[in-house]
Amino acid sequence: MPMQWMLLAVQAATLGATNYAVDAPMAPPAAPASFADEFAGKKVDQSIWRYDTSRNAAGWYNNEKQYYAADRPENTRVEDGVLVIEARREPLSKAKFPDWGGQVYSSAKLVTRQTLGYGFYEVRAKLPCGRGAWPAIWMVPEDASWPAGGEIDIMEMVGWDPNVIHATLHSGAFNHRLGTQRGAQKQVATACTAFHNYQLDWRPDSITIGVDGRAYMRVANDQPGGKAAWPFTRPYPLILNLAVGGDWGGAKGIDDASLPQRMSVDYVRYWKHGD
151 catalytic per annotation: yes
Residue 130 lies in a domain: yes
Low-confidence residues of the chain: pLDDT under 50: 1-17
Contact in structure between 76 and 110 (CB atoms under 8 Å): yes
Q: Give the pLDDT confidence of 134-166 residue by residue, as tens digits.
A: 999 999 999 999 999 999 999 999 999 999 999
Residue 244 lies in a domain: yes
Residue 202 lies in a domain: yes
Owning domain of residue 242: 8-272
Q: Which residues contact 110 (CB under 8 A, 6 or more apart)?
A: 44, 49, 50, 51, 52, 76, 83, 85, 239, 240, 241
Residue 1 lies in a domain: no
Specify the length of the chain in residues.
Answer: 275
Instruction: Give dist(CA 99, CA 264) in Å, integer.
Output: 26
Nearest to 103 by CA among 59, 72, 135, 73: 59
Residue 3 lies in a domain: no
Q: Give the pLDDT confidence of 170-213 residue by residue, as tens digits.
A: 999 999 889 899 999 999 999 999 999 999 999 999 999 999 99
Beta 105-107 vs 66-68: how paired, if at all?
parallel
Nearest to 155 by CA among 231, 237, 238: 238
Residue 155 lies in a domain: yes
pLDDT at residue 11 in the model: 38
Instruction: Give dist(CA 186, CA 167) in Å, integer.
Output: 9
Residue 2 lies in a domain: no
Q: Count up the domains in the chain and report the number.
A: 1
pLDDT at residue 149 in the model: 98
pLDDT at residue 19 in the model: 79
pLDDT at residue 274 in the model: 76
Nearest to 186 by CA among 24, 28, 18: 18
* Domain at 96, CATH number: 2.60.120.200
Residue 67 lies in a domain: yes
Beta 238-244 vs 133-139: how paired, if at all?
antiparallel
